[in-house]
Structure 1
């Protein structure tokens, strides 16, 4: 496509007052006006014929077919042809999961890396939500040597990027946690004496729990022997993810539910490594999915696929129905780790009641993200009456939040508040603490 630039239009319009003045003063010079128009049109045609032509370009677009939500990636664009301009403008049409508004604009520049003249540009992108993100089309345009016409071409890309739960936390944070806790080759030494399952008899040393002394074995061996215990294995752990309205709100550019899914996958990876039975449960207005209990690391991809199906919902979460359904499917005492969010005591009342019934049989751990935006409003120094109002509202919201946490703790549930970026590590540390205490 070739069309005039602003320069060409302004030059045509600039000739109008001159032609009008000549028509009034020297009517015989009326041919100047059409002559001026003819000159501009001739220059525009010459400009269109000179330089690089859009029809000679071929586009190569390289990007991954699958990315994790919140993980940065690169989209590489290159246009090759017989000749290319030094600089061109681009506009990319793509899914709103990849760019706000579904559009990106920028520039491409000529490179000398290849024998074939090439325009190249690499765009850094980040997927904000899970799902199929379509990369639709790219427009490239540049001006001719005289700057009178735009030369433009549209390239249809029509390829999709699958945005799935991020495994970056599993690969990076999981490796750090394993190294820090020295699990490889040292697991038995690390967990001895901290669990409830009998491990071995050892000679009693000062500082050991006297209640662990085995008096019968000590009498037979004529020396004090104490029982050593290890953390129990084969526990049932349910990772319950709330997918309701409050969890669909973004925190740091990513919805809360996506952060919860990433943290749950990290926790599932650690649990499978430690020999526990891990299952995934999601709910919103009604229960959505409940996976079988997996206990081998080779089953981790099945958990990842189930996590990728957790959808965004803009309805209130039905905790009564969800937790009742979950309790009916558990036939043994389990650790239920619930990733959720609550804003005030009134809306959380039904959740507290349902959690109270569940806590009578199972161990509950609530994982919630710190509301750093509300905390910053509460701490910010007020400079106007509106700031004072915002600070008071923020303080009231934080008080209600702490009231909900206190009520859950009185029911026997554990509650941890963690920053959004440290959600996975915080949940893993809490899980390991429960295992070390042997309170499952």
Structure 2
């Protein structure tokens, strides 16, 4: 229990300080009477503390989720129960570490029958281990002169993981039979290069798919139906360097990349491919084996949750060379990265080109919405014109880098942050249908 004066008590002491000092100066022999005000104030504070609800009656608890997906706030319920004889209102506060944000972190709640409840929104800021550092409750006595405070020690950690709930929602929409037009790219029959079955020829089928021998045997046109190939190797290469920690639509780019990577992994596993994860900045940080089957998705989720933020510059030579050394057959390598200008991207282009000699590369870049906003904004001052010119130059440099990679044979996925995951899945499926692997 902690006991300390309120502002009212400090004001009460201050009001009596001036008269007490005057009495002590004008009548030194009455100095003992000058201290009477202080004694009276202290007595009132003591009486207020004795009349207040005792802290031993308080039961303080916080019901918080154990797992939170990045970018998906959750609500925690804070409860203060005095049993009987509680105060009219109580002030509640929650302390969290730098991985979480509590909104509001402090609030005053009225009690009903000695019980006060309040909701606190927990906003995940960064992946990792969030901690509830403590929960505090304080209240005053009937006179409002003293604060009584009690603290609940830190609770269990809160794991802040990639937003798997959003990934599964997107995946279910993609696989749904009634998905809206443009959001259902997951038909794996009718195209591709793996023979699936024979069916009666229908209008719209390719004439080259007619099986003439079977047509002659059955006396009608029979066509061959294909499906996309399976058992491909898909490597998700995550650049975790300094630039990937910059925000994109409210979340760090690396978190956007992980969400898109998990959605692609979910789709790939369901379509029979094998998926692995590789993360690097100044050196390789994570390298997993290839997993197969839908049951492997939780493993990939845990691996992606281990990918931490970094302030180091990305070493593409070391990272992509190490990645190439782990691949023993042609694979689809999905590179999630970002670059600031054409000069810094030169080494990246060289190493990606070296990787494309053997493998198919899906190159994922974030559309720089901030630069596009500066270019499209109507200038109101000379400084705005200068910013627009510089932003346009940087955008042209980025377009030059992606155009060069496209000429080298890379499949470029360039989309806004919110639509990156869907654009990536569509590109992956297009690659499979065209038989580019």
Calculate the TM-score normalised by the size of structure 1.
0.89
May I ask how many residue pairs the two structures share in their alignment? Answer: 430
Counterpart CA distance in 1 for 2:421 and 2:372 is 21
| 303-312 or 224-233, larger mean C-alpha shift | 224-233
Q: 1:85 aligns with which of 84, 87, 111?
A: 87
Query: How many Å separate the matches in 2 of 1:72 and 1:431?
Result: 30
Mark the CA change 1:55 to 1:192 in structure 2 (over 3 Å): closer, same or farther. Answer: closer
Q: Which range is displaced more, 205-214 or 81-90?
A: 205-214
Give the superposition deviation at 1:23: 6.5
1:170 aligned to which of 167, 171, 182: 167
Please state how far the C-alpha of 1:414 moved relative to its aligned partner. Answer: 1.2
1:111 aligned partner:
112
- Structure 1 residues 134 and 202, CA, compared in 2 at 3 Å: closer, same or farther? closer
Partners of 2:59 and 2:77 in 1: CA distance: 14
User: Are the equivalent residues in 2 in contact too, given 1:136–1:159 (CA < 8 A)?
Assistant: no
What residue is the counterpart of 2:412 in the other structure? 415
Structure 2 unmatched runs, 5+: none
What is the CA–CA distance in structure 2 between the aligned matches of 1:275 and 1:303, rounded to whole Å? 15
Q: 1:87 to 1:218 in 2, by over 3 A?
A: same
Match in the other structure for 2:154: 157
For 1:307 and 1:181, locate their aligned partners in 2 and report how far apart those are by CA, in whole Å.
31
- Is residue 95 from structure 1 mapped to residue 97 from structure 2 by the alignment? yes
Match of 1:72 in 2: 73
2:255 matched to 1:258?
A: yes
The CA distance in 2 between the partners of 1:204 and 1:42, in whole Å, is 99
Distance 1:252 1:22 in 2: 66
Residue of structure 2 in register with 1:40 after alignment: 41
Q: Pairwise mapping of residues 374-389 of structure 1 onto structure 2 (< 5 A)?
A: 374-389=371-386
State the secondary structure of the residue aligned to 1:389: helix
Deviates more, 1:34-43 or 1:89-98: 34-43
* Aligned counterpart, 1:233: 230
| Contact 1:277/1:295 (<8 A) preserved | yes
Contact 2:193 2:433 in 1 (8 A): no
1:88 is paired with a residue whose SS is strand
Check conservation: 1:111, 1:120, Cα contact below 8 A: no
Conservation of the 8 A alpha-carbon contact between 1:109 and 1:121: no
C-alpha displacement at 1:396, in angstroms? 1.9
Deviation at 1:298, TM superposition (A): 1.1
Q: Residues 242 and 23 of structure 1: is their aligned pair in 2 closer, same or farther, counting only changes over 3 Å?
A: closer
Q: Which residue of structure 2 lines up, in the alignment, with residue 336 of structure 1?
A: 333
Query: In structure 2, do the counterparts of structure 1 residues 359 and 143 end up closer, same or farther at CA, with 3 Å as the change threshold?
Result: same
The whole-number CA distance in structure 1 between the counterparts of 2:71 and 2:270 is 25
Change in 2 beyond 3 A, CA 1:218/1:153: closer
Q: Distance in 1 between matches of 2:228 and 2:201?
A: 20
Give the TM-score, by structure 2 length.
Answer: 0.90
Show the counterpart of 2:5: 4
- Tell me which of 195, 205, 222 is aligned to 1:198: 195
